[in-house]
Amino acid sequence: MSDYRSTRQITAMSERLRTLGLVPFFIQQLTDTCMLEERLGRVTSVQRSRSTVVCESGERVVELSPALRQSSAIDRPVVGDWVVLDESLSRIEKVLERKSLFKRLGAGTHNEIQPIAANIDVLFIVTSCNEEFKESRLERYLALCAEAGATPVIVLTKADLVADASTFIRRARSVQAGVPIEIANALDPATLDGVRAWIDRTSTVALVGSSGVGKSTLLNTLAGRALAATGDIREDDKKGRHTTTHRELHVLPSGGLLIDVPGMRELRVAELGQSIGAVFEDIQLLATQCRFVDCKHETEPGCAVLRAIEENRIDARRLANYKKLLRENALATATLAEKRSQGREFARMVKEVKLIKQRKSDG
């Protein structure tokens, strides 16, 4: 599609779709112009098989097409997706190709990749200046963010509750070279200029982080009104009470889109590719100087990584977490690959049995 045509379509496009973050990347995937105005929409929340979609004509609760209902979790619509509805505007027919996707390995025994939020530009990894703060958790979020294809920003909330936030800032800086950090009191709009600078009219920001760190509070303060419920945290261990129970995309009155994601208890990784390396660039660079090319940085002589730990240039915790994520990722990735090949094998067997049956009935 020519640039001219896509520009013309955007100018003709409804203001509503534009405030929902519609950009040429999605318009270019549409083949029929009339489909654009009426049947295009963005998923603002998902409840089991039903999704809330905002289209030009307003908000609708819609079902999935039979094909989508049978597809795997990763291919089904998730909050943030751009979708095409059927002519009666009651069913999602197609999920447009995603610009980015934040996902994890499903919790519990479900060895399936679970999409969390689609088409996000920026990921606010929210953590607070108290016992909740953990470098290892941040590293995990950052690896998943690199894989998602979004820009990470660490948002340090509850800065008002500590005399000096500098220790937390220093610790946040250590988890990934050059990662932006914003300090905030999520209850006070006067402290949110740094956070606001990441939000513009068409970009989508997802808020992730443990329960109780202040994601919904941040959303409400940025919006200037109570869009989401918030809840207090437990006094003894500072843990949240999982107040937000489903993911939802909100449009800010001043423009910009925020996806509030409930605190996740488990954040398992799988199929991370090179994304672990994006977070642990320092360790991977040092590893090129180890004496042995296959150095595991355990007890080997001439290990540049172990030397950096001895000289306090790298934390032993950081190396341990790097190894843990590598192990976890390798195991989960292998399990998923095996499951998929078994699925293919099973499908092949079913096909063969059907063919035999057919031959029998034909003959």
Binding site for ligand GTP (CB under 6 A): 157-158, 160-161, 184-187, 211-217, 230-233, 240, 242-244, 262-263
Of 154-162, 245-253, 287-295, 338-346: span binding Zn ion (CB under 5 A): 287-295
Q: What is the 3 state secondary structure string of the chain?
A: CCHHHHHHHHHHCCHHHHHCCCCHHHHCCCCCHHHHHHHEEEEEEEECCEEEEEECCEEEEEEECHHHHHCCHHHCCCCCCEEEECCCCCEEEEECCCCCEEEEECCCCCCCEEEEEECCCEEEEEEECCCCCCHHHHHHHHHHHHHHCCEEEEEEECHHHCCCCHHHHHHHHCCCCCCCEEECCCCCHHHCHHHHCCCCCCCEEEEECCCCCCHHHHHHHHHCCCCCCCCCCCCCCCCCCCCCCCCEEEECCCCCEEEECCCCCCCECCCCCCHHHHHCHHHHHHHCCCCCCCCCCCCCCCCHHHHHHHCCCCCHHHHHHHHHHHHHHHHHHHHHHHHHHHHHHHHHHHHHHHHHHHHHHHC
φ and ψ at residue 320, rounded to 5 degrees? -60, -40
Taking the least distance from each CB to Mg ion, the nearer of 126 and 279 is 126
Q: Which of 87, 183, 171 is nearest to 126 (CA)?
A: 183
Taking the least distance from each CB to Mg ion, the nearer of 139 and 248 is 248
Q: Which residues of 292-307 are buried (b: 16+ CB within 10 A; e: fewer)?
A: eeebebeeeeebbbbe
What does 152 interact with, of Zn ion, ligand GTP, Mg ion, none (CB < 5 to 8 A by kind)?
none
Interaction between residue 283 and Zn ion (CB under 5 A): no
Q: With CB under 5 A, what is the number of residues at the site for Zn ion?
A: 5
Query: Closest approach of Cβ 339 to Mg ion, in Å?
Result: 33
Taking the least distance from each CB to Zn ion, the nearer of 30 and 306 is 306
Taking the least distance from each CB to ligand GTP, the nearer of 96 and 138 is 138
Query: Closest approach of Cβ 297 to Zn ion, in Å?
Result: 4
Single residue of 30, 279, 303, 319 touching Zn ion by CB under 5 A: 303
Of 88-96, 228-236, 237-245, 282-290: span binding Zn ion (CB under 5 A): 282-290
Q: Which residues bind Mg ion (CB under 5 A)?
A: 215-216, 243-244
Query: Closest approach of Cβ 66 to ligand GTP, in Å?
Result: 34
Query: Closest approach of Cβ 215 to Mg ion, in Å?
Result: 5
Which of left, alpha, beta for 216 (phi over 0: left; psi -120 to 50: alpha)? alpha
Query: Closest approach of Cβ 352 to ligand GTP, in Å?
Result: 49
What does 44 interact with, of Zn ion, ligand GTP, Mg ion, none (CB < 5 to 8 A by kind)?
none
Taking the least distance from each CB to ligand GTP, the nearer of 235 and 298 is 235
What does 233 interact with, of Zn ion, ligand GTP, Mg ion, none (CB < 5 to 8 A by kind)?
ligand GTP
Query: Closest approach of Cβ 24 to Mg ion, in Å?
Result: 33
Single residue of 42, 98, 297, 318 touching Zn ion by CB under 5 A: 297
Query: Closest approach of Cβ 302 to Zn ion, in Å?
Result: 8
Query: Closest approach of Cβ 332 to Zn ion, in Å?
Result: 24
Taking the least distance from each CB to Mg ion, the nearer of 242 and 317 is 242
Find the length of the chain. Answer: 363
What does 323 interact with, of Mg ion, ligand GTP, Zn ion, none (CB < 5 to 8 A by kind)?
none
By the 8 A CB rule, do 159 and 191 touch? yes
Interaction between residue 20 and Zn ion (CB under 5 A): no
Query: Closest approach of Cβ 182 to ligand GTP, in Å?
Result: 12
For Zn ion, the binding residues (CB under 5 A) are 290, 295, 297, 303, 305
